[in-house]
Amino acid sequence: MSISIHQWPNNNDAAFCLNFDDFSPFYLCGYDYGGDLHGKLIKQQEILLSEYDVKITHFVIPKSNFFFPLTNKTHKIVNYSTSRYALNNIKNSSWVKYVKELISADRLEIGMHGYQHFNKKFVKKHQEFLYDDHFNIKKKLLTSKHIFEEAGIPIFGFRQPGWGIDKDFNLFKVIKELGFFEYIAASSLNAGLNANKLRVNNYLPSWFEQNLNIPQNLELDINMDDMIREIEQLVKKNKIISLKGHFCNVKWIPNNFCDANYTKIKSIISYLLRYKIWYATFKEVSDYFKCISKVSIREELSDAKKLFIINLPNKIKGLTVIIGNKNSKHSLEILVSDSNRVNANYNSHSKVIFNVSSDNFIIEVN
């Protein structure tokens, strides 16, 4: 008799993770990265969160150092004060309060997106960690963590600005050493960890330098027809649908949160209603993946009866274990309702013995 653990909680077909880079208190001269609490970007976010079950994972710059071309014909840049848009600046207290309220309501998750999103050493100014040494990387990450802590915003994951990483992957060695991130979100189909070579899975969480990586595989600027075709394949294969954009209104930044892309997101979510979809944050995906990776199942014989002893450390709501063929009338399905209760759907050929004080429960098959 086969035993399987469902890829996603509650027997969902796929996970959908809407995620953005660059969310920030920054708002100046018409450039908005979510800093205008009465602006169009925030209003669009509020509509998405109120009309749909979707959650959003934002990768936030804790001390923004923004730079923009002075004209479309020059490479000159103008930099703005980094302290003015720091999360721990009292002038941004209303913005921080807004973010914390959505976190408390379980609608947002915040990840770290570098320190200042600025690299003075490199022509690609947004790739902050390129050509940086171990000491500076560690200093930036610890300083960033301190800023988030001062603002009272919890962080669980990390994405490097501009996908920029050196060939020695020193950034992720530092992250492993520090140990305070629960996951990284460091890859797209052809960038970040997957630049020049496939190093991590594009469709499911996978490990790199002992850091769990949550992939990004769709971008807002993709043609809608192509988007739907790709989503159909991801759902069919029970994969993660990880849709990324930039939370800004800056036209020359790709995958920005313009009106067309906002409408596209609404269309995608409406399309997904035909499937069983888990709308999750990156942390929730990380937690679930780590949980199922620790589940162990062994088979024993006792008094001519077959026993399946299942160990569930860190029981997580929605986890589903299936004994037998899922579509068979003789199958048994165990669903973890919460950390203290397990429900079982079974027939007369099987019974479940479960002790909530233990990580183990036994499936007895006659």
Least confident among 21-35, 103-117, 125-139, 333-347: 333-347
Domain membership flag for residue 130: yes
- Is the pLDDT confidence value at 75 over 50? no
Domain housing 309: 295-365
Domain with residue 99: its CATH number is 3.20.20.370
Q: Are residues 251 and 310 in the same domain?
A: no
Domain membership flag for residue 190: yes
Q: Which of 286, 303, 330 represents a domain boundary (last residue)?
A: 286
Q: Are residues 315 and 179 in the same domain?
A: no
- Is the pLDDT confidence value at 319 over 70? yes
Least confident among 74-78, 311-315, 317-321: 74-78
- Maximum mean pLDDT: which of 164-178, 302-316, 339-353: 164-178
In this prediction, residues 6-16 reach a mean pLDDT of: 90
What pLDDT is attached to residue 337?
63
- Is the pLDDT confidence value at 81 over 80? no
In this prediction, residues 166-170 reach a mean pLDDT of: 88
Domain membership flag for residue 7: no
Burial 26-64 (b: 16+ CB within 10 A, else e): bbeeebbbbbbeeeebbebbeebbeebebbbbbbbbbbb
In this prediction, residues 281-310 reach a mean pLDDT of: 81
In this prediction, residues 333-344 reach a mean pLDDT of: 62
Q: How confident is the model at residue 222 (pLDDT cuts 50, 70, 90)?
A: very high
- Is the pLDDT confidence value at 20 over 50? yes
Query: 329 vs 285, which has greater pLDDT?
Result: 285
Least confident among 139-143, 222-226, 288-292, 351-355: 351-355
Is 267 in contact with 223 (CB distance < 8 Å)?
Answer: no
Q: Are residues 269 and 321 in the same domain?
A: no
- How many beta carbons lie within 10 A of that of residue 125, not counting itself? 18
Q: How confident is the model at residue 73 (pLDDT cuts 50, 70, 90)?
A: very low
Q: How confident is the model at residue 303 (pLDDT cuts 50, 70, 90)?
A: confident
Q: Which of 259, 286, 313 represents a domain boundary (last residue)?
A: 286
Domain membership flag for residue 112: yes
- Is the pLDDT confidence value at 356 over 60? no
Q: Are residues 17 and 118 in the same domain?
A: yes
**pLDDT tens figures, 189-204:** 999 999 999 999 999 9
Q: Are residues 140 and 212 in the same domain?
A: yes
Percent pLDDT > 70 in the chain is 78
What pLDDT is attached to residue 74?
40
- Is the pLDDT confidence value at 87 over 90? yes
Q: Are residues 306 and 161 in the same domain?
A: no
Q: Which of 252, 286, 320 represents a domain boundary (last residue)?
A: 286
- Is the pLDDT confidence value at 345 over 70? no
Domain membership flag for residue 132: yes
CB contact set of 285 (below 8 Å; sequence gap of 6+): 15, 17, 205, 214, 240
Q: What total number of domains does the chain contain?
A: 2
Q: How confident is the model at residue 131 (pLDDT cuts 50, 70, 90)?
A: confident
Type of residue at 206: S
Is 283 in contact with 183 (CB distance < 8 Å)?
Answer: yes
Q: Are residues 170 and 303 in the same domain?
A: no
- Is the pLDDT confidence value at 226 over 80? yes
Q: Are residues 277 and 306 in the same domain?
A: no
What values do phi and psi take at 43, rounded to 5?
A: -60, -45
Is 310 in contact with 297 (CB distance < 8 Å)?
Answer: yes
Q: Are residues 213 and 238 in the same domain?
A: yes
**Nearest of 208, 227, 248 to residue 58 by alpha carbon:** 248
Domain membership flag for residue 6: no
Q: Are residues 204 and 318 in the same domain?
A: no
CB contact set of 131 (below 8 Å; sequence gap of 6+): 119, 121, 122, 166
Q: Are residues 36 and 131 in the same domain?
A: yes
Domain membership flag for residue 8: no
**Nearest of 40, 42, 158 to residue 107 by alpha carbon:** 42
Q: Are residues 243 and 350 in the same domain?
A: no
Domain membership flag for residue 2: no
